[in-house]
């Protein structure tokens, strides 16, 4: 028998009253926090599921990736037998004038005896590449790429352990780097290649509202299925039956007690085992399909286990390709891929993912664990045809680890797409243990199987309907039913939080159609529409680009017929908006893009206000299932923007995006050499990705920031006060160099933020591939200093190839100079500011620490009173959020005060200028670099690369508007919901009774109507407000009850007979009559 104090009794009463109260205990204090996703039975009779960070060790993941020496994947244009593939390769290579010894690697796996579309070619010596051209010329050969080896390492560490980042920071504080530590094997907390995306449960407390002053205990739901109300579908008779779901991971034990329908286990590795030696694959499979202890969503689904990682966490691209082909042969319905990496240009892998979804496989993939930095999406979750899943905690806050958008495929010339698609619980989720029992993990690789399990459960409800179920329709249902989180933006949450019950309602009444994501564009809706809502548009500005994803549920292929039409709303000033539209010529597989460019007409140059309109388009797919006519779906994209009068030139900053390069496709190294565990520059260098914090600071300071995605010859310098060049890796056209000099003479100011460059250091930070015993050389340094010096040469300025680091101050401000360069050449009448810094380049090359005084790091100059002002600074890390240690936004704002307003802040004017030493030889390009392979400027020639011809400036085709003389909705989000209610028919769904399962109260499901555009139905998630109302109501009831009892106790005792009788009647009223003895 359990004893309860008075406080425990009150808490218990509140739990039973509201049904959903999360409790946090700290010594004798009790705090209550309402939640809609907590298993109340876990509190009775003890708090058995309250955990602390100390209870759960951190699961740390390390990665490596390397090319395999002399091994190449030959991709064919179709599926052929092994004999035919051999003959094709032999016919091509035998034409080679040199003797080439080659062989086809034997692949011993379940797909061996089936036709395939690739082979792994091994050559004894591949120095002479003439065989490669002959192979590519063969009509049956589609592509030849190097074989890749992927390594994923899982280990358990504790909070007291020193992490890689701690080691980096210790080095910054003065710990010297010993000989050999600058050239290392690839080990990264951010994966170069596809890797598991699991974290520890310590990531649970990674919400935006984290309480940092003390450690709090937290209450977690015992069953993830209860938190998402899977009981509702179970009670309707759906449990995953008839759905084939594949788990690509580390395998599964043969007789694991949690699984009852494991149809097949296959091994695609070089180890002779099917079992899981690590537990990650077991956990993922359990979240999807466990039927005991820690329940999965679809216990009756047919489970196919694909073991694609060894116990040493090694995998190869060819293993995945074979396994993907086998999944197609097995007619898999749902495939979970809890791996990811930034390489969206791994063509064999990406192409195979497209082929999978084209074969009706619904792929669910983790978006990545590289948050809170923006521009960190992982592939394949960033593909349009894949359901990309982000993570939230049980407080419905975006998990700190969850990667953020936008996609970086489209950079530098365009703008990224919206991802993730949806978010769900990915922190402290319970799943199956290695042999039995349950364990708790966090990460987007946990959120991914949550969605995959939900998709499997949903699929079992509609699988008998035939053509209803496909990757597009499932994605449409998930996104249309998702509940929007009120504090997160579109690049954090996508369409919102997974709502399983509402998704079932939509899918049950689904009719094949196309839809848009996002379903509307509203530049006035913050914070959801950030960054679009962060800056109004105006005449003369660079067009704002919104990339909308088209989901086509009518068929795997489709097209937009005719041209999309722009309809400005006449009463809402729609004629002030100019719109240019481009789109995919073919929607395949299941998706495409609609790029919308927005700017302001000349008539509104001095006008401010709200303008609205809409775009209409028609999507068509071929007829199916005996239909006579093609399928068509007519879509509307509402647009709402805020227009302001054109700002003065001094307030307008132009960000140079065109000359930023990133991984992939080339090896562009990190800007901060101390961050050895994140060696690649892969976040896009955009103001809305890793330079987001800088952009927000500039907007708060009153500046308008525009993005230049084309050469310098394509903008009007008279419109802008300052051109901002940061971390540039690209070369420059000669015409750009000439134009910039002329623009500066005519009043354009320029700020250049450089980074390290040193050929000897570049050779030192190369990667050693232990498998191939070869070095991977960078294509440039943190910045392309030789190219920048060519650009600055007409101005009499140049950077050096020295590398420095250290803390320094200007006035009352302090910042960190991280792997920056110094100024080598500058006009004598300019202001040059120097500081004492450590020579990091010397340390890299010799292992010795050396400090030097008066290092010229900042230069300011104006040639004459009518010319623009030029500022050079040797480091961009202090405004780049990738490895931000001590920001210098204050310094950038000072520099912009000087360049834009000719106002030199007192902290800078009080500085005394230093003299430059005699300039020696300026930095030269590294001999044998491969920058020309990835450059938009350089052309590949035998010998020295030369600039390409200057491309013509892109010109947008502005749509001719067809005005609508009707009123536009004031709130597009709410308006779309109202349209769905008016236009759609009612949905008939069986209403289960309120039941308890896994400790979760399942309420009746309200009728909900299907939106015609599917993605218009998102609703704001205010469910947390209802337990709060219930809590306060309970408090009032308790107060009234105790006051009433107190009054009764203080009254004189009289007329006992009648009072006892009234009390008896009161008992009968609440508990019913008792039988008399």
DSSP string covering 464-526:
GGSTT-SHHHHHHHHHHHPEEPTT--HHHHTT-B--HHHHHHHHHT----EEEESS-EETT-T
Q: Which residues contact 859 (CB under 8 A, 6 or more apart)?
A: 797, 823, 826, 830, 831, 832, 833, 870, 871, 872, 873
CB of 688 within 8 A of CB of 406? yes
Of these residues, 36, 39, 249, 370, which one is catalytic? Answer: 249
Helices and strands, number each (H, E), in the chain: 23, 47
255 token code pair: 């007789």
642 token code pair: 């805020």
Instruction: Please calculate the CA angle 1034-1036-1040 and round it to the nearest 5 degrees.
Output: 115
| Cross-strand partners of 181 | none
CB of 345 within 8 A of CB of 372? no
Distance from C-alpha of 532 to C-alpha of 526, rounded to nearest angstrom: 9
Q: Is 445 a catalytic residue?
A: yes
Of these residues, 206, 256, 280, 504, which one is catalytic? Answer: 280
Beta-carbon count within 10 A of 619 CB: 27
Q: Which residues contact 807 (CB under 8 A, 6 or more apart)?
A: 814, 815, 816, 817, 886
Distance from C-alpha of 32 to C-alpha of 517, rounded to nearest angstrom: 38
Distance from C-alpha of 747 to C-alpha of 902, rounded to nearest angstrom: 11
937-946: burial string, b at 16+ Cβ within 10 Å, e else: bbeeeeeebe
Q: Which residues contact 175 (CB under 8 A, 6 or more apart)?
A: none
Q: Is 116 a catalytic residue?
A: no
Tell how strand 387-392 and strand 422-425 pair up.
Answer: parallel
661 token code pair: 């390069």
| Four-point Cα dihedral 896, 897, 900, 901, nearest 10 | 180
Distance from C-alpha of 931 to C-alpha of 9, rounded to nearest angstrom: 71
Q: What sign does the CA torsion over 377, 378, 379, 385 have?
A: negative
CB of 874 within 8 A of CB of 888? no
First to last CA, the chain: 29
DSSP state of 647: P
Q: Name the one residue in this structure whose structure tokens are 């914090």.
A: 693
Instruction: Please calculate the CA angle 366-682-585 and round it to the nearest 5 degrees.
Output: 70
Of these residues, 290, 338, 445, 819, which one is catalytic? Answer: 445
Phi and psi torsions of 342, nearest 5°? -80, -5
Q: Please name which of 204, 413, 397 lies closest in space to residue 936, comparing C-alpha atoms.
A: 413
Distance from C-alpha of 829 to C-alpha of 848, rounded to nearest angstrom: 36
Q: Is 229 a catalytic residue?
A: no
1002 token code pair: 């399942």
HSE-up (13 A, CA, CB side) for residue 534: 23
Q: Which residues contact 706 (CB under 8 A, 6 or more apart)?
A: 541, 542, 652, 653, 654, 655, 720
Distance from C-alpha of 159 to C-alpha of 137, rounded to nearest angstrom: 56
Q: Please name which of 356, 348, 309 lies closest in space to residue 328, comparing C-alpha atoms.
A: 356
Q: What sign does the CA torsion over 991, 995, 996, 1000 have?
A: positive
Catalytic residues: 249, 280, 445
């Amino acid at each position: 028998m359990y004893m309860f104090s008075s406080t425990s009794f009150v808490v218990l009463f509140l739990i039973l009253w509201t049904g959903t109260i999360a409790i946090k205990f700290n010594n004798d204090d009790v705090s209550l926090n309402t939640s809609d996703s907590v298993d109340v039975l876990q509190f009775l009779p003890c708090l058995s599921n309250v955990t602390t960070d100390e209870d759960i060790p951190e699961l740390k993941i390390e990665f490596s990736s390397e090319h395999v020496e002399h091994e190449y994947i030959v991709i064919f244009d179709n599926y052929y037998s092994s004999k035919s593939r051999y003959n094709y390769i032999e016919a091509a290579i035998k034409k080679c004038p040199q003797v080439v010894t080659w062989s086809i690697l034997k692949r011993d796996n379940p797909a061996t005896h089936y036709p395939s579309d690739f082979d792994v070619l091994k050559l004894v010596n591949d120095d002479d590449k003439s065989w490669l051209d002959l192979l590519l010329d063969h009509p049956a050969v589609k592509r030849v790429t190097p074989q890749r080896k992927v390594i994923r390492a899982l280990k358990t560490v504790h909070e007291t352990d020193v992490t890689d980042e701690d080691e980096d920071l210790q080095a910054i504080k003065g710990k010297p780097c010993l000989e050999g530590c600058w050239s290392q094997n690839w080990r990264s907390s951010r994966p170069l290649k596809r890797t598991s995306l699991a974290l520890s449960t310590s990531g649970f407390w990674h919400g935006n509202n984290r309480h940092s002053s003390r450690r709090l205990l937290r209450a977690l739901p015992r069953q993830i299925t209860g938190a998402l109300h899977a009981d509702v579908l179970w009670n309707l008779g759906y449990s995953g039956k008839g759905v084939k779901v594949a788990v690509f991971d580390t395998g599964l034990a043969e007789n694991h007690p949690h699984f009852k329908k494991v149809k097949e286990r296959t091994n695609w590795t070089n180890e002779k085992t099917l079992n899981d030696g690590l537990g990650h694959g077991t956990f993922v499979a359990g979240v999807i399909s466990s039927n005991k202890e820690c329940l999965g969503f679809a216990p009756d689904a047919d489970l196919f286990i694909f073991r694609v990682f060894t116990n040493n966490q090694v995998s190869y691209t060819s293993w995945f390709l074979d396994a993907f082909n086998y999944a197609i042969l097995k007619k898999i319905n749902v495939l979970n891929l809890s791996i990811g990496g930034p390489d969206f240009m791994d063509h064999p892998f990406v192409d195979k993912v497209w082929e999978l979804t084209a074969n009706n496989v619904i792929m669910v993939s983790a978006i990545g664990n590289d948050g809170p930095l923006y521009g960190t999406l992982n592939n394949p979750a960033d593909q349009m045809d894949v359901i990309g899943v982000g993570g939230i905690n049980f407080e419905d806050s975006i998990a700190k680890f969850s990667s953020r958008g936008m996609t970086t495929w489209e950079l530098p010339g365009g703008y990224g797409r919206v991802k993730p698609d949806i978010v769900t619980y990915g922190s402290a989720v319970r799943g199956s243990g290695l042999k039995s029992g349950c364990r708790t993990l966090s990460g987007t690789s946990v959120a991914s199987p949550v969605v995959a399990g939900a998709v499997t459960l949903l699929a079992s409800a509609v699988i008998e309907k035939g053509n209803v179920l496909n990757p597009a329709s499932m994605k449409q249902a998930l996104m249309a039913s998702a509940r929007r989180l009120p504090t997160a933006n579109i690049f954090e949450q996508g369409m919102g939080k997974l709502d399983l019950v509402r998704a079932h309602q939509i899918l049950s009444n689904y009719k094949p159609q196309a839809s848009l994501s996002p379903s509307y564009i509203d530049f006035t809706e913050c914070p959801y529409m950030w960054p679009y809502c962060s800056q109004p548009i105006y005449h003369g500005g660079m067009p704002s680009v919104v990339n909308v994803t088209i989901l086509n549920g009518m068929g795997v292929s489709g097209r937009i017929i005719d041209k999309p039409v722009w309809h400005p709303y006449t009463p809402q000033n729609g004629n002030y908006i100019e719109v240019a539209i481009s789109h995919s010529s073919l929607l395949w597989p299941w998706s495409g893009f609609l790029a919308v460019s927005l700017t302001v007409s000349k008539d509104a140059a001095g006008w401010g206000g709200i303008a609205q309109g809409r775009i209409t388009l028609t999507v068509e797919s071929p007829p199916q299932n005996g239909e006579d006519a093609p399928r068509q779906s007519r879509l509307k994209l509402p647009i709402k923007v805020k227009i302001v009068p054109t700002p003065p030139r001094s307030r307008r900053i132009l960000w140079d995006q065109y000359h930023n390069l990133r991984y992939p496709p080339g090896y562009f190294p990190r800007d901060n050499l101390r961050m050895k565990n994140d060696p690649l520059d892969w976040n896009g260098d955009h103001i809305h990705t890793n330079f987001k914090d800088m952009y927000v600071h500039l907007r708060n300071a009153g500046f308008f920031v525009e993005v230049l995605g084309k050469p310098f010859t394509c903008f009007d310098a008279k419109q802008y006060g300052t051109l901002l060049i940061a971390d540039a890796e690209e070369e420059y056209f000669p015409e750009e160099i000439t134009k910039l000099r002329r623009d500066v003479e005519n009043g354009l100011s320029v700020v250049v933020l450089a980074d390290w460059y040193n050929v000897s250091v570049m050779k030192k930070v190369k990667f050693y591939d232990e498998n191939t015993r070869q070095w991977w050389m960078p294509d440039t340094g943190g910045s392309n200093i030789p190219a920048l010096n060519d650009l600055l040469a007409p101005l009499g300025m140049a950077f050096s190839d020295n590398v420095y680091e250290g803390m320094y101050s200007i006035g009352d401000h302090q910042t960190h100079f991280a792997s920056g360069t110094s100024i080598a050449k500058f006009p004598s009448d300019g202001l040059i500011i120097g500081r004492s810094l450590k020579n990091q380049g010397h340390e890299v090359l010799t292992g010795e620490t050396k400090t030097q005084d008066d290092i010229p790091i900042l230069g300011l100059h104006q040639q004459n009173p009518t010319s623009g002002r030029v500022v050079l600074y040797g480091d961009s890390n202090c405004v780049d959020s990738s490895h931000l240690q001590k920001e210098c936004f204050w310094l950038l704002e000072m520099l912009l005060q000087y360049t834009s307003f000719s106002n030199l802040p007192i902290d800078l004017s009080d500085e005394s200028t230093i003299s430059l030493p005699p300039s020696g030889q300026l930095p030269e390009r590294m001999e044998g670099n491969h920058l020309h392979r990835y450059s938009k400027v350089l052309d590949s020639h035998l010998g020295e690369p030369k600039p390409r011809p200057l491309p013509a400036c892109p010109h947008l085709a502005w749509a001719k508007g067809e005005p609508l003389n009707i009123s536009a909705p004031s709130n597009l989000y709410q308006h779309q919901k109202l349209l769905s209610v008016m236009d759609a028919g009612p949905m008939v769904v069986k209403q289960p009774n309120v039941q308890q399962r896994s400790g979760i109260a399942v309420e009746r499901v309200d009728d909900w109507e299907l939106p015609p555009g599917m993605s218009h139905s998102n609703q704001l998630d205010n469910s947390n407000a209802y337990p709060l109302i219930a809590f306060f109501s309970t408090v009032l009831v308790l107060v009234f009850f105790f006051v009433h009892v107190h009054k009764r106790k203080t009254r004189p005792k009289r007329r006992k007979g009648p009072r006892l009788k009234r009390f008896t009647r009161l008992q009968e009223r609440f508990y019913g009559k008792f039988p008399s003895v």
